[in-house]
Amino acid sequence: MADVKISALPSSTTPLAGTEVLPIVQSSTTRKVTVADLTAGRTVNADTLNATNVEVTNVKANDGTAAITISDTSGNVGIGTASPVAGYRLNVVNDSGNAQQLIRAGTNFNSTISFGDQDSSTSGQLLYAHNGDYMRFDTNGFERMRIDSSGNVGIGGTAQTYTKVEATGTYPTGNNYTRVFRASGTIPSGTTQATYSHSTFQSVVSTQAAAFTCPQLMHYIANTVTIGAGSAVTSQFGYHAESLTTATNNYGFYSNIASGSNRWSFYAAGSAQNYFAGNVGIGATAPSEPLHVSTAGNAQMLLESTAASGISVASRYKTPTRTWVVGNGPGVGNHTFTIYDETAGTVRFNITDAGNTVAGAAAVLATTATDGFLYVPTCAGTPTGTPTAITGMAPIVVDTTNNKMYFYSGGTWRDAGP
């Protein structure tokens, strides 16, 4: 056959049937090879392969194991496995060690894994910013959480540099409620430790081994809220316990701190009022009165004032029509125990610091007065009984039959005359 340039040959029909024959040189001998012989089960080895529209189903490593496998039915890619799991477009498998993936970017750029759909290619993102060394988590196209280079976690934004976990931004709302952190799980049956069996929140911190002083360690702190323009808050609670009634013992607030210098089970330093609707027990676990003081020794209550003048100590007893003040000083002055009629503005009884006992008001009674008198017991006839002795005291009585006053002294009743 005459020499013919390849460029002058007519184009072949496509696709090739496989029966076409090509000449090749094998071991210095020219042989014919069909197209089917070239394509059947042959492996291509190359350091560099440049091709267009090449169908690849299996790339093997030098030892013959599957390096990359593309399933011919689902299109799933397996790296390190010849059988990629259906439903997972990319399978990275290393059955004999750790399976790891590396996403590497420039120093001032980001490494990103994006999760998208037909509407958005970045609906969700896992982004690492190399320029700031923080990890960012996005949902619905917005940043939702960030972990900074120090490990501080910001939910809804960036945490303060001094805060380990911080919830920022606008909080969610539903059914007219807003909750930032909420525990609603189930306590498992193995929770049977005698003390501290379950704690929804626990603070167990320690100080660093260094020479420094922390002025205040607060395990829980509540600060006032900032009221936005046009909004209002009806009631604000620093701590709220409600409907704790289902246990054997129910405590709205429980403190168990051993007595000692500079120790307080409860300490209210503010000047605001304090309110207790139920009975208050001091040493009494079941108080039966608004204030019930109980102790194994002498039951004492100390009321003390450091005021230099005016009413130093007072206890008020209110009835529907009158208020009585009993204590040290009201209506008379300091150092005098008095019973003071606050409604009338009059001292009814007082004992001075010198021991003098005064009954009635300080003002002289008018001869026409109908109130303000000292009343003593009466008897019909001369008294004959022996009164119970009280050291330094003498009883008196009025005989209404004979219209005489008697006092008991020296072992007998004596007529006070005339």
The pLDDT of residue 286 is: 92
pLDDT band per the 50, 70, 90 thresholds, residue 279: very high
pLDDT at 44 over 60: no
Q: Whose CA is closest to 254, among 195, 296, 205?
A: 195
The pLDDT of residue 27 is: 78
**Mean pLDDT, rounded, for 5-31:** 72
pLDDT at 290 over 80: yes
* pLDDT tens digits, one per residue of 180-237: 999 999 999 999 999 889 999 999 999 999 999 999 999 999 999 899 999 999 999 9
Q: In terms of pLDDT, which residue wins out, 187 or 8?
A: 187
**Mean pLDDT, rounded, for 393-416:** 94
pLDDT band per the 50, 70, 90 thresholds, residue 248: very high
Name the pTM for this structure: 0.64
The pLDDT of residue 313 is: 52
**Mean pLDDT, rounded, for 39-53:** 58
The pLDDT of residue 412 is: 95
| Residue owning tokens 């896992």 | 126
By percentage, how much of the chain surpasses pLDDT 90? 52
Q: Comparing 65-69, 171-175, 407-411, which segment has the lowest mean pLDDT? A: 65-69
**Mean pLDDT, rounded, for 375-399:** 94
**Mean pLDDT, rounded, for 172-187:** 93
Domain layout of the chain by residue ranges: 6-39, 114-169, 310-370, 378-415
Mean residue pLDDT of the chain comes to 85
**Mean pLDDT, rounded, for 255-278:** 94
The pLDDT of residue 211 is: 95
pLDDT at 312 over 50: no
Distance from C-alpha of 220 to C-alpha of 217, rounded to nearest angstrom: 9
